[in-house]
A and B are shown apart, each in its own frame.
Chain A
Amino acid sequence: MPLIKNNQIIDNIWTYVPDDAPLGDESHIILGLERFLAERLQQRSSNKALGVRLAPADDPEKLRPYLDELDLIEVDFPKYADGRGFSQAQLLRRRYAYTGELRAVGEVLRDQILYMHRSGFDTFSTTRADLSDVMAALDEFSLSYQKAADIREAVFGIRQKR
């Protein structure tokens, strides 16, 4: 599955471990939120790099105390129509100041990628878009009416600076 970050295809070094599966010997593992909270201390001593996968109903605030030790947060979109991940991303980036990798996984469609990027995602794991699609999608709008987690200023503010 192509993984796209900063307009490049990158290799995936991470392995998601389902809640009921044993941990293998991978160096970079992604756990579900509750399992991460339960096994965090134990895994820290094992030299593994830890990431977390948020399901739509998960409260990202639970990760707030541990954001410094996380290199990756995945937000799962099991169905593209379920937009809770957009709020999770905005909270993580803007309110909790998470600066590590924020990856959208699941049903990540080409035409959602711009809004995902604006909400704070920097990496997209998708079978529904290739690199050129993602780059085109991110380029479709030159302006935004609202501030979000990207660097764009809102039109409201731009007008007043003319």
Chain B
Amino acid sequence: MYRYDEFDAALVNERVSQFRGQVARRIEGSLPEDEFKPLRLQNGVYLQMHAYMLRVAIPYGQLGSAQLRRLAEISEKYDRGYGHFTTRQNIQFNWVELKDIPDVLQDLADVEMHAIQTSGNCIRNVTSDHFAGATADELMDPRPWCEIIRQWSTFHPEFAFLPRKFKIAVTAAAHDRAAIRVHDIGLHMKQQDGTTGFEVHVGGGQGRTPVIAAKVNDFVPESEILDYLEAVMRVYNRFGRRDNKYKARIKILVSETGAEEFSRLVDAEYAAQSAHEKIDLPGDEIERITAYFKGPKLPTRPLESTAFNDARVADPDFDEWAAVNLHPHKQAGYTSVTVSLKPIGGLAGDATTDQMMVIADLAEAFGHDDIRVSHAQNIVLPHIAIDDLHAIYQQLQRAGLATANESLITDMIVCPGLDYCNLANARSIPVGQDIQKVFADPAYQRDIGKLHINISGCINACGHHHVGHIGILGVDRKGQEFYQISLGGRADEKAAIGEIAGKALSQEEIPAAIKQIIETYRSHRTSKDERFIDTLERIGHAPFKEAIYAAD
């Protein structure tokens, strides 16, 4: 993983000092809240319903053990013993006091972490594939470019007061696990005639106006990508709408301008850059940064592990877990493990202090110190020898971290909802928990197969309901909470926005409605190999809608 050099360290430490000064001015009174707001946001500090919240950046979702331990310590010292991993691969602490935040930031800086630009109308944390550098299905490792983009976008003087927030995601795998088509900019790495480059998608997003990004360029070579990104950002900064907060994202500029015209504007801006404006990223610097991501030297191991196979026979729960939570590694004898943060009846993405410590220890003992946060709010140990799985599993089980549900129906993305959030119209957490209870049986879940249910408590869509295979949106009807079901959304390379199935249902009706959808799928699928989303695509939405509303 990337390590700070003296320049990165200096910048992060200087940021801590700067924010310490800003907080002091705020507390002493010379800096009013409305002027402090953009400053605190650009350091990840929100004013939430009950307290300040601090969002810490986990660039492209990668952590080392020392970093995760530090997050655990922060959760104990400044929060209430847990942290909340987010859909943008970050972590949030919900109970931090403003006066303590400069100290927390210093604690983070000491382990090469920060909260820079995790909120505010600026370029946010760059996200990526949580299996990057480990998965068998990637063309190359996207993380070096994520890091380069992180550096380029950090404290960018021109793009700190954009019309609205700006999110970039990068993937290099055929199967898109980074949801790049629902980002402001989505980059898909490619190779063309021996040159590395990027397919560029612009203007995707969720929120109240969900849009799948438009492809604006088939191939931008790596030597030109930062200049191209500057061109996109400048067009957006100059021409993005600022009259209405809800129309200010780049997706609205792209759709109102038209993707073709937008692309022409970017090309014109790019073509107008003079030589001295070019970013001029030295090739040696790309190599230097890439070298950090070479990954651990993994000793050769046999493809089959007798110890693993024997343990599966002896321990049925382990067998269940191993069948679900492992992802193919590029090297024989290894696998990537998903540590589910979605226990039945739990809070999606939450980890306690002790759980974070356990994961950090496991990563150190077995996982080459490499830990990832997935956008589905789980933790990944990307490089695990298959021989070690049973030992890891047993420790995870003791820590309450061995839920076998990765990408299954109970592995839901759920926003904090009305229980914690100012913006929400309805609760999300209990709805998710009620659904989990219906499908808690491991065999039933596995029979249903891969399926994403995403739940948001309001139209801001933090729970990604638009791109859930089944999406659930909480709405307020005359002071009553209701829930709208949508079908057919997906965030992968075939990204689509789900379609609303019909009238909203009450919280009590939701679990049964989901059960109806699932039973309809099970009765229509050609075999167990046909996933829910594929059956839905094949037979259309009508049978599912009928099933949901049959009881009326």
Contacts and interface: CB of A to CB of B under 8 A. Distances in A.
A144 B159 CA distance: 14
A94 to B, nearest CB: 5
Of the listed residues A56, A111, A144, A148, the one surrounded by the most CB atoms of chain B closer than 10 A to its CB is: A111
Interface in B19-59: 21-22, 35, 38-39
A146 B158 CA distance: 10
Interface string B135-157: 00000000000000001101111
A111 B237 contact: no
A154 interface: yes
Interface stretch (A22-30, A34-42, A83-91): A83-91
A90 B160 CA distance: 14
B288 interface: yes
A120 to B, nearest CB: 9
B17 to A, nearest CB: 7
Contact of B272 (A95, A112, A141): A95
Contacts of B22: 111
Contacts of A148: 157-158
Contacts of A82: 161, 242
A66 interface: no
Interface size class of B (residues with CB under 8 A): 35 or more
A14 interface: no
A89 B14 CA distance: 25
B161 A142 contact: no
Of the listed residues B8, B237, B274, B281, the one surrounded by the most CB atoms of chain A closer than 10 A to its CB is: B237
B14 A142 contact: yes
B155 A87 contact: no
Nearest to B273: A95
B7 A143 contact: yes
Contact of B161 (A86, A147, A160): A86
A146 B277 contact: no
Contacts of A86: 157-161, 237
A81 interface: yes
A87 B282 contact: no
Contacts of A142: 10, 14
A94 B161 contact: no
B99 to A, nearest CB: 19
Contact of A83 (B39, B151, B162, B284): B162
B7 A159 contact: yes
A58 to B, nearest CB: 10
Nearest to B272: A95
B234 interface: yes
Interface residues of A, number: 37
A119 B158 CA distance: 6
A147 B158 CA distance: 11
B18 interface: yes
B151 A156 contact: yes
A84 B282 CA distance: 29
A157 B38 contact: no
A86 B17 CA distance: 24
B277 A83 contact: no
By secondary structure, the B interface counts as helix
A160 B284 CA distance: 7
By secondary structure, the A interface counts as helix
A87 B277 CA distance: 13
Interface in B122-178: 151-152, 154-162
B161 A80 contact: yes
B365 interface: no
Contacts of B7: 143, 155, 158-159
Contact of A143 (B10, B17, B274): B10
Of the listed residues A81, A114, A118, A128, the one surrounded by the most CB atoms of chain B closer than 10 A to its CB is: A81
Contacts of B162: 83
B463 to A, nearest CB: 27
B159 to A, nearest CB: 7
A81 B121 contact: yes
B277 to A, nearest CB: 5
A109 B238 contact: no
Contacts of A87: 158, 234, 237-238
Contacts of A115: 155, 157-158, 160
B509 interface: no
Interface string A108-145: 01011011101100000000100000001000111111
A146 B18 CA distance: 19
Given A87-B234, A142-B14, A145-B152, A81 B38 contact: yes
Nearest to B286: A156
Interface of B: 5, 7-8, 10-11, 14-15, 17-18, 21-22, 35, 38-39, 121, 151-152, 154-162, 234, 237-238, 242, 272-274, 276-277, 279-282, 284-285, 288
Interface of A: 56, 80-84, 86-87, 90, 94-95, 109, 111-112, 114-116, 118-119, 128, 136, 140-148, 154-160
17 contacts: A84-B238, A84-B242, A86-B157, A86-B159, A109-B35, A114-B157, A115-B157, A140-B17, A141-B14, A146-B156, A147-B279, A147-B280, A156-B280, A157-B282, A157-B285, A158-B7, A159-B5
Given A80-B161, A83-B159, A95-B273, 6 more contacts: A81-B161, A94-B277, A115-B158, A144-B155, A148-B158, A156-B281
